[in-house]
Chain A
Amino acid sequence: MNGKPVRQNSILIVDDEIVVRDSLSKWFKQDGYRVDSAEDAAHALKKMSCGPWDIILLDIKMPGMSGLELQKHLHEIDSASTIIMITAFASVESAVQALKEGAFDYVTKPVDPDHLSHLVQKAIQHKKLADENAQLRQHITEITRGEDIVGNSPQMKKVIELAKTVAQTDTTAMIRGESGSGKEIIARAIHANSARRYFPIIAVNCGAVPETLLESELFGHEKGAFTGAQFRRKGKFEMADGGTIFLDEIGTISVKMQVQLLRVIETKQFTRVGGNEVIASDFRIICATNHDLEAAVKAGTFREDLYYRLNVFTIFIPPLRERKADIPLLARHFLTRYTISMNKPVKDISPDAMDMLVRYDWPGNVRELENVIERAMVLAAPPSIRPDDLPFQLIPKHHAPADESIDAVEKAHIEHVLAKYGWNITHSAHVLDIDRVTLYNKIARYGLVKP
């Protein structure tokens, strides 16, 4: 090839013998590699700043720090470098030690050129695959990260912390919370942060599947198992092999299914409907419910043994009305999402509209908030969402007082803040940026009365 290097791959040669360094450098330069050499550990460590080096050829026996010791330091600096040890016949044992500590291979001096050529090519190929694998994994992590969990309230911070903790383990997790509070998003976040993230998360809404079909849905069926079973079909537990199965609305399943579920959880084995073959599957269970399972256990509609099996690590998602601090954050999050998907230049929510959103009770939780924002986005005239765009008009709007004196404005404002925070003096004083005593004084002065 016309004088240009054939490849851009790089090799660092570390050997105390100058003839070895020179002859190897020359040999690899002719192959088009970027080559540099170092005579000892200190120089090698210094040369790491000129890296990254794809391959490091490292002599085991060197004065000062040995190749074995240097290997550890080099790995600490750049774990992606492929290290090939060079050794004399006498030190094959130390070469084996080097392999145990992560070296790619070793060669004995003098080395057969054909062997060295193939070894280096193999190492480069191995490194390329490893790099590509790391990139793909990173890519998968990015695309499977799922929806962002939005929330800055202490309650949501706690939920996120718990989800992160349980993600690192293989423990069965139960997510409790009202309808629409985002249980599936938390389940997906747990899966996406777990070691199982490169395998699927299979979601089953137990409440949405008729009782008669749930068994086939979960365990699969053989051809001819029942009328209409024309083909063999894999069940959700089989599909979740290596990954996670998310059982939503677990509180709705029948007592018969509860027994089957219990057996699968305990043995990780099951048979398809109409089949005899025992199928093993490695899955992690995350389940969710908005039912009062404890009451169901007491009433005998939910098996106690299954309850204890599932209720190993519970995460409660508080309803939106109990974490009003998250409402503006969530509202803006959904606003941004719909601004992009609807391609509409609505950039903000007016203070009045936001006030209404914060004061509303949100029986449908985050899902309701998302729907309200989506609806408002359809109605809103750019650049912002105004109170008229919101579907609920139940909360009286906060009007500025007719009397525009400072006292009247201050009285109205304090009254508004107190109402907003349910007459919580500490919180209201904090929001008003005055101390509690001052707030009490002002309440007395303006004759404000708690409703």
Chain B
Amino acid sequence: MPSILLVPIPPVTMERITSLRLPLQSIFDTDTVIDASIHLDIIAALDMYRNQYNSSILLASLKERFPQHEGKILGVSEVDFFVPVLTYVFGEAQLNGTVAVVSVYRLDDTLYGLPENPRRLNERLVKEAVHELGHTFGLYHCLDYDCVMHSSTTVEDIDIKRDNFCPACSRAVKRHLHARS
């Protein structure tokens, strides 16, 4: 059974990484382990002009660092991600591939002038982590607004959906896991 590898991309606290382990293990029903042994050079992804980090470059670096890994790899960081044509992204994944990254930066209520809400921040991070990993399992965006694979471009969108898959997406993930096991 392929496992999920959680990789911190500093700056990020270990507490944040560990908070993801159990939810992911439960939702995907597969081993989830943390690998903090490597150091990913985040500066290579920095766009000085935008003061943001190119998530596509981070994806490529992760893939390069773990070429032999059989399962899925999720990089987590607290910096602001972007892809060149968009102003920001919450995360990015390789569709039907192995790597995904998520950012905590825009999930934090304080960014929108609201009081700090650690519980909500953690819920959002779990949903985004599941969503991006879902893409690595070959899932497209789902029309079911309740499904974690529903497209979210704002935090409000993330808050509406659940942290789990709709029955159809859930079956697709299971098929994918069994095919690889």
- In the complex, which residues of chain A have a beta carbon less than 8 angstroms from the beta carbon of B135? 30
Q: Is A6 an interface residue (CB 8 A)?
A: yes
* Contact yes or no, B151 A3, CB < 8 A: no
Q: Are A5 and B140 in contact (CB under 8 A)?
A: yes
Which residues from chain A contact B140 at a C-beta distance below 8 Å?
A: 1, 3-6, 29-32
Sample (28) of A-B pairs whose CB atoms are under 8 Å apart: A1-B143, A1-B144, A1-B149, A1-B172, A2-B139, A2-B168, A2-B171, A3-B172, A5-B140, A19-B83, A20-B85, A23-B56, A23-B83, A23-B86, A24-B85, A26-B95, A27-B86, A30-B93, A30-B95, A30-B140, A31-B151, A32-B140, A111-B85, A111-B86, A112-B88, A113-B153, A114-B153, A117-B153
Chain B residues contacting A3 (CB-CB under 8 Å) are 138-140, 172
A86 to B143, CA, bound (A): 27
Instruction: Give the residues from 38 to 87 in chain B that come closer than 8 angstroms, CB to CB, to chain A.
Output: 50, 56, 82-87
Instruction: Digitize A1-26: 1 where CB-to-B-CB distance is under 8 Å, 0 elsewhere.
Output: 11111100000000001011011101
| Additional A-B contact list (12), CB under 8 Å, known A19-B83, A113-B86 | A1-B140, A5-B140, A19-B85, A26-B95, A29-B95, A30-B135, A30-B151, A32-B140, A32-B141, A112-B86, A112-B153, A113-B87
Provide the residues of chain B in CB contact with A5, threshold 8 Å.
140
Query: Which residues from chain B sit less than 8 Å from chain A, CB to CB?
Result: 50, 56, 82-89, 92-93, 95, 135, 138-144, 149, 151, 153-154, 166, 168-169, 171-172, 175
Q: Which chain A residues border B88 with CB–CB below 8 Å?
A: 112-113
- Residue numbers in B under 8 Å from A19 (CB-CB): 56, 83-85
In this assembly, does A300 line the interface, its C-beta being within 8 Å of a C-beta of chain B? Answer: no
A8, chain B: closest CB distance, angstroms: 12
Name the B residues within 8 Å of A22 (CB-CB).
56
Q: Does A139 contact B (CB under 8 A)?
A: no
A-chain residues with CB within 8 Å of residue B172 when the two chains form the complex = 1-3
Looking at the complex, which one of A1, A23, A26, A114 makes contact with B168 (CB distance below 8 Å)? A1
Cα–Cα, bound, A117→B151 (Å)? 9
Report Cα–Cα, A30/B142, bound state, in Å.
9
Nearest-Cβ distance from residue B48 to partner chain A, whole angstroms: 15
Q: Give the docked Cα–Cα distance between A86 and B85 (Å).
A: 10
Is there contact, CB below 8 Å, between B141 and A20? no
Within 8 A of B (CB), among A103-147: 109-114, 116-117
Interface residues of chain A, those whose CB is within 8 Å of chain B, are: 1-6, 17, 19-20, 22-24, 26-27, 29-32, 86, 109-114, 116-117
B54 to chain A, nearest CB (A): 9
Query: For residue A17, which residues in chain B have a CB less than 8 angstroms away from its CB?
Result: 84
B residues less than 8 Å from A30 (CB atoms): 93, 95, 135, 140-141, 151
Tell whether, in the assembled complex, residue B95 and residue A111 are in contact, meaning their CB atoms are under 8 Å apart. Answer: no
Residue of A nearest to B55 (CB): A23
Q: Roughly how many angstroms separate A3 CA and B56 CA in the complex, as a whole number?
A: 22
A5 to B138, CA, bound (A): 11
Residue from B87, B154, B175 within 8 A of A110 (CB atoms)? B87
Task: Given A22-B56, A23-B56, A117-B151, answer yes or no on A110-B85 (Cβ-Cβ < 8 Å).
Answer: yes
Instruction: State A17–B84 Cα separation when bound (angstroms).
Output: 10
Query: Which residues from chain A contact B89 at a C-beta distance below 8 Å?
Result: 113
Q: Is the CB of B169 within 8 A of A1?
A: yes
Contact indicator B138/A116 (Cβ below 8 Å): no
Please give, as numbers and ranges, the residues of chain B lying within 8 Å of A2 by CB-CB distance.
Answer: 139, 168-169, 171-172, 175
Cα distance, A1 to B144, chains bound together (Å): 8
Q: Which of A23, A26, A31 has the most CB of B within 10 A?
A: A23
A112 to chain B, nearest CB (A): 5
A29 to B144, CA, bound (A): 17
Q: Whole-angstrom distance between the alpha carbons of A1 and B150 in the complex?
A: 9
CB distance from B169 to the nearest CB of A (A): 6
Assess whether B151 is in contact with A109, with CB atoms less than 8 Å apart: no
Asked if A6 and B85 make an inter-chain contact with CB atoms under 8 angstroms apart, the answer reads no
B154 adjacent to A114 (CB under 8 Å)? yes
Q: Within 8 Å CB of A31, what residues of B? A: 140-141, 151
Q: In the bound complex, what is the Cα–Cα distance between A261 and B92 (angstroms)?
A: 73
How far is A19 from B47 in the complex, measured between Cα atoms in Å?
14
Q: Which residues of A contact B87 (CB under 8 A)?
A: 110-113
- Residues of chain A contacted by B144 (CB below 8 angstroms): 1
B143 touches A110 (CB 8 A): no
Query: Which of B50, B95, B140, B171 has the largest number of chain A CB atoms within 10 A?
Result: B140
Q: How far is the CA of A146 from the CA of B160 in the complex (A)?
A: 54
| Distance, CA A102 to CA B50, complexed state (A) | 32
Residues of A within 8 A of B142 (CB): 1, 6
CA distance A5 to B143 in the complex (A): 10
A27 partner, pick from B83, B138, B166, B175, beta carbons under 8 A: B83
| Chain A positions within 8 Å of B82 at CB level | 110
Contact A110–B86 (Cβ < 8 Å): yes
> What CA separation (Å) do A116 and B89 show in the bound complex?
12
C-alpha spacing A319/B50, complex, angstroms: 82
**Contact of B85 with A23 in the complex, beta carbons under 8 Å:** yes
Chain B contacts for A27, CB-based, 8 A = 83, 85-86
A110: chain B residues within 8 A (beta carbon): 50, 82, 84-87
Q: Within 8 Å CB of A29, what residues of B?
A: 95, 140
Taking CB atoms, residues of chain A closer than 8 Å to B169 are 1-2
Q: How far apart are the CA atoms of A55 and B40 in the complex, in Å?
A: 38
Closest to B149 in A: A1
**Top 8 A-B residue pairs of the complex, sorted by shortest distance between their CB atoms:** A2-B172, A114-B153, A23-B83, A19-B84, A32-B140, A113-B153, A20-B85, A2-B168
